[in-house]
Amino acid sequence: MAAWTTNDIPDQSNRTVVVTGANSGLGAETARALARAGAQVVLACRDVAKGQEVADGIGENAQVRRLDLADLSSVREFAAGLAATHETIDVLVNNAGVMAVPFRRTADGFEMQIGTNHFGHFALTALLLGRITDRVVTVSSTMHRIGKIDLDDVNWERRRYERWPAYGQSKLANLLFAYELQRRLAAHGSPVKSIAVHPGYSSTNLQYRSESRYGKLVELVTPVIGQSAKMGALPSLYAATSPDAEPGGFYGPGGLFEMRGHPKKVSSNARSHDEYVASRLWELSERLCDVQTPLTST
C-alpha cells in the first residue's frame, strides 16, 4: 500500500458518518477529515460542550449528539434520536474509549473499560445496524495482545482488578467483535463491511488520562515517540472510506512495531481469531446489554 493520506479520501458527499468520541483526539481528527471530504458527520460525545467546539470548527457538515457509552440508557436514547432523523447511516466509527483507569463501574454495573470500550459500542452497533449501509469501523489497539477474555468474569467481579490487563481484555473484545460481526454479516448476505483498526502510539488525550502510576512518564514520553492524532486517525479514515479496505480486515500504522506511520493491513494475535470465544462473547454481550440484531444466529 502506498503512503495513504487524507488526500486519498474519496468524495464523501451525500454520506452520513457517526463517530463516537469525536470531541477530541482521534475522533475529532476523523470527524474533521470526513467533513472536509463532504460527509455529514454526527459527533457522538459524552462531553457535548467540547464536541460542539469541534463541530463549530468544522461548520455546517457537523452536528453533535450526546452519547455516554458507559450508560446503556444513553446509548438507547442516542440510537432512537438518530433513527428519528436519519433513515440510513453510511458508516459508524466506534472510536471512543477509556484506558487503564482505576476500578470503577458503568451505570449498568460493567467494569468501566470493557463496559465503555466493548459493551457500549456493541449495543450501539446492534441498535443502528439495520440503518447502516456501508461499513462499521471499530478501533482496537496493539494492547489487545496482552488481553485475555474471561467469559466467566468479564466484569472483574471475582478476579483482583488490574487496569492494564482489563484494558487489554477490552481491546481484544473489540477485535473479536469486529471479526465476528463480519462473519455474521457475510453469513446473512449483507453487503455491510466490518473493519478493525488501531492507531499505533498516538499523542492524544487518552494517553494523558489513564490515571495510572506511569501517568507522568507517559506525559513525558508520548510527545517524543507518539505520532500526531492526525496520523493516528489515518487507519480509521482508510477503513471508513477506502474502496480497497477489506471486510474483516485490520489496519494500523505501517512503521516500526506499528507505532507510527501510514496505514497498512496488519495482523492480530491468535486469541482475536478464536471463533468460539467470539461467538460466546457475542451471545454474552447480547444478554448483558439486552439487545439483539438480525445477526443473532449464524
| Structural domain includes residue 158 | yes
| Structural domain includes residue 295 | no
| Structural domain includes residue 5 | no
pLDDT at 214 over 60: no
| Structural domain includes residue 132 | yes
Specify the pLDDT at position 226. 72
Mean pLDDT of the chain: 93
- Say how far apart CA 32 and CA 27 lie, in whole Å: 9
Let me know if 167 is a catalytic residue: yes
- Say how far apart CA 184 and CA 178 lie, in whole Å: 10
| Structural domain includes residue 204 | yes
pLDDT-derived band at 215, boundaries 50, 70, 90: low
Are 120 and 127 spatial neighbours (Cβ–Cβ below 8 Å)?
no
Indicate which residue of 161, 167, 214, 276 is catalytic.
Answer: 167
* Burial grade of 49 (CB within 10 A; 0-12, 13-18, 19 or more): exposed
| Structural domain includes residue 297 | no
Chain segment 19-28, per-residue pLDDT in tens: 999 999 999 9
| Structural domain includes residue 2 | no
Chain segment 156-170, per-residue pLDDT in tens: 999 999 999 999 999
Lowest mean pLDDT among 4-13, 100-109, 138-147, 219-228: 219-228
pLDDT at 216 over 90: no
Residue 113: alpha-carbon gap to chain centroid: 13
Number of domains in the chain: 1
| Structural domain includes residue 3 | no
**What is the length of the chain?**
298
Q: For residue 91, give the CATH number of its domain.
A: 3.40.50.720
Domain span at residue 139 reads 12-289
CA distances from 56 to 76, 163, 266 (A): 26, 35, 35
Specify the pLDDT at position 204. 61
pLDDT-derived band at 297, boundaries 50, 70, 90: low
Number of other CB atoms surrounding residue 232 within 10 Å? 27
Chain segment 27-64, per-residue pLDDT in tens: 999 999 999 999 999 999 999 999 999 999 999 999 99
- β pairing state of 89-94 and 62-66: unpaired
